[in-house]
């Protein structure tokens, strides 16, 4: 089931993504050229990220900010500003003119922000389930089997009461920014806070379905405390594609979507490792060469 909070989360993540045609049209403008456009065109057509880059370049602190960003990427931004800009352009595979376009200024800021992002660890790494005569608890990270999940860094907490006949399902996630995000910072969102109705409590097994079962998809919980296997199965809840309250159309699932709750440490570590590997490529080529040479020498010793 696609939950209301998840829809807000997805929509938030998509806010501010620039139109691809506009990006292509204006990416090679120099700041002065962009600022020379009419105010109407800049407001209606120019991607905000390019307007921001042009305004930065024209500001009194613009050169200082860009020099600092170049230094963050291991170019000689302060000692040789013009040379650093040319080296940055060359590493992008573009002509080393020494005059940065609005796209290059935006990319410089993005990369500098990206390399300064650190791993965060505020999600509990608790995994597993405990069951008593009247209570049951499950904690862990949700992953979708055979599919990529939109929010891999997440934590779910399920608490079930036999006497009340319900389970409380709570999930939070850490949204990772990308090149199209407004800012390079993490965003924490609540994905779900729902009540499930227990349909089976037998031995070490609990099955439950949403108490409010009117969404586009319905999500069944299947919890096995003996084997420590905890699954969610999402199925269509409508005969056709479903229109949500937010105006988003969800296509029907071709088959049930199966997720499981697991120990999320490896998943989360892999996400931050991917960021680290990505951002290493953002450093100046000369710096990367020195690092690789050093690592190679250390491996031989």
pLDDT digits (tens, 9 = 90+) for 106-145: 999 999 998 888 777 766 678 999 999 999 999 999 999 9
pTM above 0.85, yes or no: no
Share of residues in the chain with pLDDT > 90 (%): 66
Cβ-based neighbours of 242, under 8 Å, separated by 6 or more: 216, 217, 249, 250, 252
* pLDDT the model gives residue 124: 65
Give the helix/strand (H/E) hosting 191: strand 187-202
* pLDDT the model gives residue 245: 67
SS3 210: strand
pLDDT in tens, 45-87: 999 999 999 999 999 999 999 999 999 999 999 999 999 999 9
pLDDT greater than 50 at residue 10: no
* pLDDT the model gives residue 122: 64
Q: Which residues on neighbouring strands pair with residue 175, listed in sequence order?
A: 187
> In CATH terms, is domain 121-269 a member of 1.20.144?
no
**What is the mean predicted confidence (pLDDT) over 258-271?**
93
DSSP per residue over 77-146, as a string? TTT-HHHHHHHHHHHTTS---S---HHHHHHHHHHHHHHT------S----EEEE-SSEEEEEEEEEETT
Domain boundaries, the chain: 20-115, 121-269
**CA pair distance 232, 7, nearest whole angstrom:** 18
pLDDT greater than 90 at residue 232: yes
Mean pLDDT of the chain: 88
């Amino acid at each position: 089931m696609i939950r209301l909070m998840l829809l807000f989360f997805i929509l938030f993540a998509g806010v501010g993504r620039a139109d691809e045609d506009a990006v292509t049209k204006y990416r090679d403008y120099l700041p002065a050229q962009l600022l020379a456009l009419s105010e109407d065109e800049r407001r209606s057509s120019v991607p905000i990220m390019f307007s921001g880059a042009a305004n930065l370049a024209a500001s009194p602190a613009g050169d200082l900010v860009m020099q600092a960003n170049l230094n963050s990427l291991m170019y000689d931004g302060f000692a040789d500003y013009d040379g650093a800009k040319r080296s940055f352009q060359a590493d992008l595979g573009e002509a080393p003119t020494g005059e940065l376009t609005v796209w290059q200024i935006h990319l410089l800021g993005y990369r500098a922000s990206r390399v300064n992002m650190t791993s965060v660890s505020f999600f509990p790494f608790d995994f597993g389930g405990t069951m008593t005569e009247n209570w049951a608890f499950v904690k862990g990270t949700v992953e979708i089997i055979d599919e990529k999940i939109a929010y891999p860094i997440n934590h779910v907490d399920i608490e079930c009461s036999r006497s009340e006949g319900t389970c409380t399902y709570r999930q939070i996630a850490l949204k990772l920014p990308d090149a199209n995000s407004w800012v390079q910072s993490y965003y924490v969102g609540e994905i779900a806070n729902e009540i499930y109705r227990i349909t089976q409590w037998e031995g070490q097994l609990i099955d439950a379905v949403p108490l409010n079962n009117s969404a586009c998809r319905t999500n069944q919980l299947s919890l096995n405390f003996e084997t420590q296997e905890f699954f969610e199965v999402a199925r269509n809840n409508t005969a056709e594609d479903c229109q949500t309250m937010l105006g988003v159309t969800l296509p029907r699932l071709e088959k049930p979507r199966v997720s499981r709750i697991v120990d999320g440490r490896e998943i989360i570590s892999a996400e931050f490792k991917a960021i680290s590997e990505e951002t290493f490529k953002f450093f100046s080529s000369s710096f990367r060469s020195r690092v690789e040479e050093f690592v190679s020498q250390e491996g031989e010793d």
